[in-house]
Structure 1
Amino acid sequence: MAVNQMKNRMQALGLLDRAFKAASDDELTAAVDALDDDHREGLESFVAEMTAEGIRAGVKAGRIDGGMEAIAAITTDACLADCIEQLGDHAENPSTDQLKEVLPGIVERHGVGITQIMLAGTVAGEAPASAIIRDLLKNDELVALPKAEVTEIAPLIDTARRSAEEQAELRAKRKEAKKAKQEAERARREQAAAARRR
């Protein structure tokens, strides 16, 4: 069971990584420019510069410690809120048809790159509709990600070689990422609840 969960987790993170790679610099820059102060502050915990290059560096550094997921949650929050609003009562667990109905408008308003990152982020966040969303990211003509390069297998890092200081730093980063992810999840749940009340 644990092996399967680990495999699914690695696949989900792989999708998210590919979504970031597929996004253009312009799309990433526009997403950062559109952030409010709170989101900007949250993003500063994970990226050194508020640029497309800074985002990509943060994503690369945050593959293991949850930073990549936190960056995705922060940069696509407006896109996700829009998607939740459009799905209305179906926001918690939409069908393929319901998603296909709202996605063209989402892509038009937020760009295909940010929409792909938002969708991949929900798969990494283990949303109830993960299997459907994963399928869309692989096969849907609007939001399918480019095929993965076979060579991009991240090398395993021997954690035993890290100093105690490095390990403590990594633990702190993971804790920070987990907190950011929980905050994003809480906001997401509130948005879904608000959308249902309308």
Structure 2
Amino acid sequence: MNPIQDSLMSRLKQETTAEHDRMEILMRESKALDSKERYAQFTLSQYYFQKDVEHLYLDPHVSQLIPDLDVRGRSEAALLDLADLGLKPKHEGNTTNAVSFPQSLGWIYVSEGSTLGAAFLYKEVQARFGFNADFAARNLAAYPEGRAIVWKRFKQTLDDANFNELEQEQIIEGAMQGFKRFGDLLADLKQLT
């Protein structure tokens, strides 16, 4: 494999480690799994973040690079979950209008990576509340092909794209923006409803 391609994935992982750790702390502090009400607020944060990310799918550069976008979006699942939980989003806007390619890939990296952590959350909401892939926890459920397969395919897509140094920097910057956005949502769960 090309060392530059390898370095993109290792750089993404390495340079976003602190943000990933911060998300874990924010998740604990949000107490998202302490009650159905808190989980509903968390699901609303998921919905808003997914709407932000899915807006980026409209870019022809993104859809050309990642041909399986149709299996990746989770906002519709989150919206159905919110209906189950008796919540309705306040707004339908997004915060990614100014995000361009290839920064958008960093946002998608954050979203796709979160599907791996969602496995733990899915088990927890099943055990605590009885929620599942048919009621209130669709947004946490695995892809039909499985989480790992879809994640590996995404990583391989980025590896095969052979991004130059500047593009890699922009992707990492986009990932940092995505982590910041989701972190802001987690920190403000009570304000979302």
Q: TM-score range by the shorter chain?
A: 0.3 to 0.5
Indicate the structure whose relative CO is greater, using CA pairs within 8 Å and at least 6 residues apart: 2
Q: TM-score, normalised by structure 1?
A: 0.34
Q: TM-score, normalised by structure 2?
A: 0.34
